[in-house]
Amino acid sequence: MDFENGQKTGFFLDQKYNRLAVSRIAKGKKVLDCFTHTGSFALNAAMGGAERVTAVDVSETAVEMARKNAERNNLDGRMDFLAADVFDLLPELEKQGGKPYDFIILDPPAFTKSRKTVKNAERGYKEINYRAMKLLPRGGYLATCSCSHFMKNDLFVKMLHDAAADAGVQLKQIEARQQCCDHPVLWNVPETDYLKFYIFQVV
């Protein structure tokens, strides 16, 4: 992790139990981890027994840190790393045809940091979730989240419903989660209720 220049140390401790949830599902699966940053979801998927994990981030620096983390954990033999824009990569994978992954993880940065940009953020979230749903085979899994408190849960859920309808798929909810307990939600401080994390199966 880059403590000096990275974001929040680069590990995002609020997701630690959500990574374990991903690890429990990943065994034997071909996993695509989008917005991997330092590789934490990808590493947990590999440690959970994934057949193969592809970790993607637009930042070459982040991808290099993820690669080194895989080496430190003796996981590099089952992991690939790609520096690419997820918004370009997902449509390109769809054009290539086939269903190369049966588990896709979407952990993007906050697409909105103000109420004024919520609509633009909603379009961004819908685009990546729609593309992921189109790529997954029946029985495949999708882990998806938003870390912006401006993207309220009801709006995030509506976006997922719309994305599934447009992709022509049906979703079975496996888990609905939030941040872990050391990032508590204080009911009188709305900003603390920020992380939405869902795991679905395409049925």
Q: Reduce the DSSP state of residue 174 to 3 states and report it.
A: strand
CB 130 within 8 A of CB 167: yes
* Euclidean distance between CA atoms 93 and 100, whole angstroms: 8
**pTM to 2 decimal places:** 0.93
Q: Tell me whether residue 147 is one of the annotated catalytic residues.
A: yes
What are the φ/ψ torsions at residue 193 (nearest 5 degrees)?
Answer: -95, 85
Give the neighbor-by-neighbor strand order of the sheet with 103-106.
Answer: 79-83, 52-57, 30-34, 103-106, 141-146, 196-202, 171-177
Please give the pLDDT value at position 1: 67
All structural domains of the chain, each given as residue ranges with its CATH number in brackets, are 13-202 (3.40.50.150)
What are the φ/ψ torsions at residue 125 (nearest 5 degrees)?
Answer: -60, -45
Measured CA distances, 75 to 48, 85, 154 (Å): 11, 24, 37
Please give the pLDDT value at position 22: 97
**Residue of 34, 145, 147, 180 marked active site:** 147
Please give the pLDDT value at position 9: 59
pLDDT mean values, one per 10 residues, the chain (203 residues):
61 89 98 96 97 97 95 95 97 95 94 77 94 98 92 94 98 95 91 94 97
Please give the pLDDT value at position 5: 65
DSSP letter for 64, please.
H
Task: Encode burial over 51-74: b for 16+ CB neighbours within 10 A, e otherwise.
Answer: ebbbbbbbeeebbebbbebbeeee
